[in-house]
Structure 1
Amino acid sequence: MADDQWWRDAPAGPIRVADGLRARSQRGEIARSWWSRRFLSVLESLGLGGRLDRGRRYARQGQVLSLSLSTSIVVGQVQGSRPEPYRVRIGVRAFTDEQWTAVEQALAGQALFLAKLLAGDMPEDIEDAFESVGLHLFPDDAHDLSMDCSCPDWQVPCKHLAAACYLLAESFDADPFEILAWRGRSRQQLLDNLRELRGGAESQRPEEREAPLTELLEGFWGSPATPPAPAGPLVAGAPDAILDQLDALPVVVRGRPLVDLLRPAYRAMVEEQR
């Protein structure tokens, strides 16, 4: 048989994989969280129903052999009908340090953002903070994504790319910080920067921020002022998350905000109860 007749002996379906990555959801929608559904909405808006259906089946059957995310790029391998797995790549533009600085300043303006992120949740209005500085956290359309696959299918996304996207959405369900890391900011770096910005929020009143603790003792036992109400419901999660929901205290001890000194105590109390 001539070499150009290879397709006559090609198997009708993919080569089944025993230990591939398998979607947790085996029926219905794959994405559970609003942020994962928001990511998949771009993919599903392309109207490629047949390929997306086959991509979901691939994801649920475990045809994706590997999937890894780093700044700006997701790479993976998907087993198709040929012996050699196909290489898939899904790219998105990472934000610059200057753009992230602007985003962090917008996020730090609301204590609830940091509290929810500390609890492993993605605030529903976090997109507003990005849009306020002219950026979009999620791709707006297919043009915001760079996708390619080594398979012979000319359509993008093919079923192999679709399978990778569905598994990527499930990974976003488990850890929303992966979306931010994809855009160029790691979990630790973002939280550290937001804590620092929140700790300096009281700089709008420098005369109070710089006042040493010894000058505040005289009125310590006086009638306290009514504390402001939190910006939203309290969020369970990190033991010190409540400190990020309240306005910064105008107290500095040895050059450090009082909130920073209270964090270890909150964490120690929780550890002692476990």
Structure 2
Amino acid sequence: MSEDRAHGAAEESSTRTPERVFAALPAAQGRGFARTWWGRTWLQALEDTALDGGQLKQGRKYARQGAVGAVSVRPGRITAVVHDPDRTTYRADVLLRELDDDEWDRMLEMVVDEAGHIAALLDRDMPPRLVEDAADVGLELLPGIGDLDPECACGAWDHCPHTTALSYQMARLLDEDPFVLFLMRGRGERELLEALQERSAARAAEGDGGSGTAGRDDGPEGVAAQEAFALGAVLPSLPDRPLPPREPAEIAALDGGTSPAPGLDIDGLTFVAADAASRARRALGEALSPGHASRAVPAPLTEWEDAVRLASALPGRTVSARLAGGCGRTERELEVAVCAWGFGGREALSVLDEGWSPPPGALARARDQLAAAWPAEDGSRPRLRATGARWTAAGTDAQVRYGPDGQWWPYLRKARVWWPAGGPERDPAAALAVAMTGGEDPAEDSAEAVGAGARRDAGQEG
């Protein structure tokens, strides 16, 4: 709820001539008077009608300073007390013609024809289509030139600063609630919605001959959900928010008593089903966590990233080989990628990609960090050979890579393959030290993972 709406207190009776009284709005320093197109149309009618631009300017100043008191809105009229700078007060009124009964009949028929109009109004919106449809049946909802008629206790015959200030504040009220305009035209929100509900129900009854079975033979047709919500239908309350499941789902054995079709990998399909269940459980837990609605939606994984994610669960050599082949990669490339994924997920994969090169500014910052990483006076700085965003310590199998995240990643060469050797570091010297000391032996870890996968394929574990 906006500030303007929070300050508007509405009182509407069940009589034919309701009234709404809005508390005085705060000063409008530093903001416009109308954000919506219908609020701006209201002001355009005022500015096109007034003959004295000086009076308009003075009225805007009054409104900005908060000189307008509580605003009373009723059919055909808005009223407020406006203060002059010397604290003299004047009652100001602005009149707008009410629609007669015939015009309201056409208005109601037009709105009932389009349930979206009701939904928009209840959302405090006035779509241009609604105003256009009203014009098609000969009705002008919004005022035009000469439609806003001023009356002020100061005696001015044209729009004075007092009626102008009131009109500018009215634009702020209209921004928040277009039903205020309908009230000026003669019908309050409750009366209008009740009339629409009655008319909608009558039309539905006429459509099915009063039997409630139009268009079908097995029961009532019902009402479109959008229309039911728009007309304030009484609906049951929502159930309590569910708790996330504590245990992962169990995947039923895919055994139908017959041999699988040629080419169907039952183990692979079972693995993918289990992964889908695990991801669904995690997504549900995240959705039910506090603040979930305000978090940014992460970018979807690429095909290669998702393949690496799946392979990191060690599905076995057969599934891993299919994942690698499906992405046009070798099994060894997938093994290295799985190792990187374990150290840092998709960020680590971006560093693994030797085709990545930072922009010139980032590369300059990386060089500055390298220059500052080792004190020049103690002779500890290693001799580094640069290749793009990679620096290899001369005479060693140790390397550091500068990532898109601005961090440094250690790498170790084993059997002519560069393997990730650890997680990211802010200091390039710390990352190189990890690589120089061997880090976490990636080749051995990968070999153990491959062995575990092979044993799983053979039915020896998992």
C-alpha deviation, 1:23, in angstroms:
4.7
Counterpart position of 1:165 = 167
C-alpha distance in structure 1 between counterparts of 2:207 and 2:181, whole Å = 35
C-alpha distance in structure 2 between counterparts of 1:123 and 1:60, whole Å = 28
Q: Which has the higher contact order (CA 8 A, sep 6+)?
A: 1
The gaps in structure 1 that reach 5 residues or longer are: 1-19, 218-239, 247-258
The gaps in structure 2 that reach 5 residues or longer are: 1-22, 242-462
Alignment-mate amino acid for residue 169 of structure 2: L
C-alpha deviation, 1:56, in angstroms:
1.3
Check 1:108–1:40 CA distance in 2 against 1; reply closer, same or farther (3 A cut).
same
Alignment-mate amino acid for residue 177 of structure 2: D
Counterpart position of 1:269 = 238
C-alpha distance in structure 1 between counterparts of 2:53 and 2:152, whole Å = 18
Alignment-mate amino acid for residue 179 of structure 2: F
Alignment size in residue pairs: 216
Counterpart position of 2:109 = 105
Counterpart position of 1:174 = 176
Please tell me whether Structure 1 or Structure 2 has the larger radius of gyration of its CA atoms: 2
Counterpart position of 2:193 = 191
Q: 1:211 aligns with which of 210, 213, 226?
A: 213
Correspondences of 1:94-173 after superposition (within 5 Å): 94-142=98-146, 144-151=147-154, 154=156, 156-173=158-175
**How big is each residue's C-alpha offset from its partner over 1:24-62, in whole Å with a ceiling of 9 and x where there is no partner?**
532253111111111111112246432222211111112
Q: TM-score when scaled to structure 1?
A: 0.67
C-alpha distance in structure 1 between counterparts of 2:45 and 2:52, whole Å = 11
**How big is each residue's C-alpha offset from its partner over 1:77-117, in whole Å with a ceiling of 9 and x where there is no partner?**
11115554111111111112232122100111111111112
Correspondences of 1:225-240 after superposition (within 5 Å): none
**How big is each residue's C-alpha offset from its partner over 1:199-258, in whole Å with a ceiling of 9 and x where there is no partner?**
34445643695439x9506xxxxxxxxxxxxxxxxxxxxxx9943189xxxxxxxxxxxx
C-alpha distance in structure 2 between counterparts of 1:41 and 1:93, whole Å = 17
Check 1:263–1:38 CA distance in 2 against 1; reply closer, same or farther (3 A cut).
same
Matched, 1:60 2:64: yes
C-alpha distance in structure 1 between counterparts of 2:181 and 2:81, whole Å = 20
Q: TM-score when scaled to structure 2?
A: 0.42
**How big is each residue's C-alpha offset from its partner over 1:108-131, in whole Å with a ceiling of 9 and x where there is no partner?**
111111111222222222222322
C-alpha distance in structure 2 between counterparts of 1:92 and 1:100, whole Å = 15
Alignment-mate amino acid for residue 108 of structure 1: V
Q: 1:74 aligns with which of 51, 74, 78?
A: 78
Aligned with 1:134: secondary structure?
coil
Alignment check: 8 A CA contact 1:77 1:86 kept: yes
Counterpart position of 2:226 = 243
Correspondences of 1:34-45 after superposition (within 5 Å): 34-45=37-48
Check 1:192–1:186 CA distance in 2 against 1; reply closer, same or farther (3 A cut).
same
Alignment check: 8 A CA contact 1:89 1:149 kept: yes
Alignment-mate amino acid for residue 126 of structure 1: L
C-alpha distance in structure 2 between counterparts of 1:99 and 1:74, whole Å = 21
C-alpha deviation, 1:177, in angstroms:
0.5
Q: Give the alignment's Cα RMSD to 1 decimal.
A: 3.4
C-alpha deviation, 1:189, in angstroms:
1.5
Alignment check: 8 A CA contact 1:202 1:209 kept: no
Aligned with 2:234: secondary structure?
helix
Counterpart position of 1:30 = 33
C-alpha distance in structure 2 between counterparts of 1:116 and 1:90, whole Å = 27
Counterpart position of 1:252 = none
C-alpha distance in structure 1 between counterparts of 2:224 and 2:126, whole Å = 14
C-alpha deviation, 1:133, in angstroms:
2.7
Check 1:195–1:24 CA distance in 2 against 1; reply closer, same or farther (3 A cut).
farther
C-alpha deviation, 1:176, in angstroms:
1.1
* Identical columns (%): 28
